Structure 1
Amino acid sequence: MGKEQIIAFAAEKFTQFGSRRFTMDELAALLGISKKTIYKYFSSKEDLVTASIQHLINEYNQTLKYLIEVEKDPITRIVIMYEKAFDRLKYFEPSFIFGLRKYYPSANKVFDDFRDNFVKIRVYNLLKIAKEKGFLVDEVNLKLFCDLYFKKFEEIAFTNNNLFEIYSNKDLLNHFIVYSLRGITKSSYKNPYFE
């Protein structure tokens, strides 16, 4: 059993049960290895949780790579990015996200850096391109729009009895992302998600 296999399995279990609740003993038992083998690769549980977060981020980025390269429209790219994120988040136990902040500061920093980069760089830059192409209304403040609509959406989604359990991904995508974007685009702009 190698390091990458442990990380991938741990990431699956941490998101499913919560990183605090799922123990190293349970992980070792399910993998059929000793805890000593896990600690050969990771100095602590937080080290493994951090590696698991990075694994999830890398997987997500790899999933997006091809999709984003194929799609040239910046607004559609944003929707696809969130559509794929929602596909993943629906399998996350809410305690996984909230537990990072409380129990695993190193892992939480990796996750927060990813979220900040996602919104402040990736989404913001795509909105800038959309504005330059004349897709957006002139008066929209892109930074404010990102802050209002795209920051910490998973926290909103996981409150109120976990919206991912109550509503379909399509409904969440429309209400969180598509309708917000539609509100700042010019009436002449069209894409398949807006129909």
Structure 2
Amino acid sequence: MKNKILDAVAQLIEQYGLKKFTVDELAAELHISKKTLYQYFSGKDEMIREYFEKTLESDRQNVLDTVGSDRSFPDKIHAIVHSSHRYRLPVRIMDEAKQFYPDEWAKVKDLKQFKLDEFQKLLKQASDEGILRPDVHFGILSAMLERVSDLFLDTDFLLENGMKATQAIDEVLNIIIGGIVKKDEGTPWKH
């Protein structure tokens, strides 16, 4: 029953956000009493905490499974960036999490750092295996990745550019991996 409740919580969060969904709506959605809900959760805040915990933990596990797999380098990068998780974590709720649920926001930031660390390990491994160009400066690449990853949580940026977070992520990967200069143009400042 607890998982069924969390599934409904995830749907209501997706529909209304963190603050606007109510326990009354949740009970009505599940066709149970609020008293029954309180047998499993002490209140809405605990439901939200568990929603974040399940979502972020499943995302983290997916990343670990991906890194340990025998997938190709590009597939691993794509899977880390687009790792699946138990519930969808809409970008638009990040502002609410930051403002009203600082502990959960800290967990989101921890997951972001974990993914950046795994991404950097993967890049180092790819470099050691000769998959990447040897002249790539990892300090600069790491700084770029860290700073640009904040854009994926910036609702204003995404709205201004008419993008979903996944589209922004794909564009960044395309630029980093593919570059911005046409292959036949070269890099004139290299000696």
| TM bracket (short chain) | 0.7 to 0.9
1:77 aligns to what? 76
Aligned residue type for 1:35: K
- Which of 161, 169, 177 aligns to 1:181? It is 177
- Which of 98, 102, 106 aligns to 1:105? It is 102
More divergent stretch after superposition (50-59 vs 138-147)? 138-147
Indicate the structure whose relative CO is greater, using CA pairs within 8 Å and at least 6 residues apart: 1
Alpha-carbon contact 2:152-2:158 (below 8 Å) kept: no
Shift of 1:143: 4.7
Shift of 1:64: 5.9
Structure-2 change in CA distance of 1:19 and 1:171 (3 Å): closer
Tell which structure's C-alpha radius of gyration is larger. Answer: 2
CA distance in 2, matches of 1:83, 1:181: 16
1:134 aligns to what? 130
Shift of 1:118: 1.2
**Any idea what the Cα deviations from partners look like across 1:109-131, whole Å, max 9, x if unmatched?**
222222211112x2111111111
Identity in percent: 20
1:154 aligns to what? 152
2:30 aligns to what? 31
Structure-2 change in CA distance of 1:146 and 1:50 (3 Å): farther
SS at match of 1:136: coil
Alpha-carbon contact 1:18-1:93 (below 8 Å) kept: no
Query: Are 1:57 and 2:56 matched, yes or no?
Result: yes
Structure-2 change in CA distance of 1:16 and 1:60 (3 Å): farther
SS at match of 1:106: helix
Shift of 1:69: 5.5
Structure-2 change in CA distance of 1:163 and 1:41 (3 Å): farther
Please state which structure has a larger fraction of its residues in helix: 1
CA distance in 1, matches of 2:29, 2:15: 14
Number of aligned residue pairs = 177
Aligned residue type for 1:113: D
Alpha-carbon contact 2:19-2:96 (below 8 Å) kept: yes
**Any idea what the Cα deviations from partners look like across 1:116-158, whole Å, max 9, x if unmatched?**
11112x21111111111122233434354233235324224x2
Structure-2 change in CA distance of 1:163 and 1:43 (3 Å): farther
Aligned residue type for 2:171: H
Alpha-carbon contact 2:8-2:29 (below 8 Å) kept: no
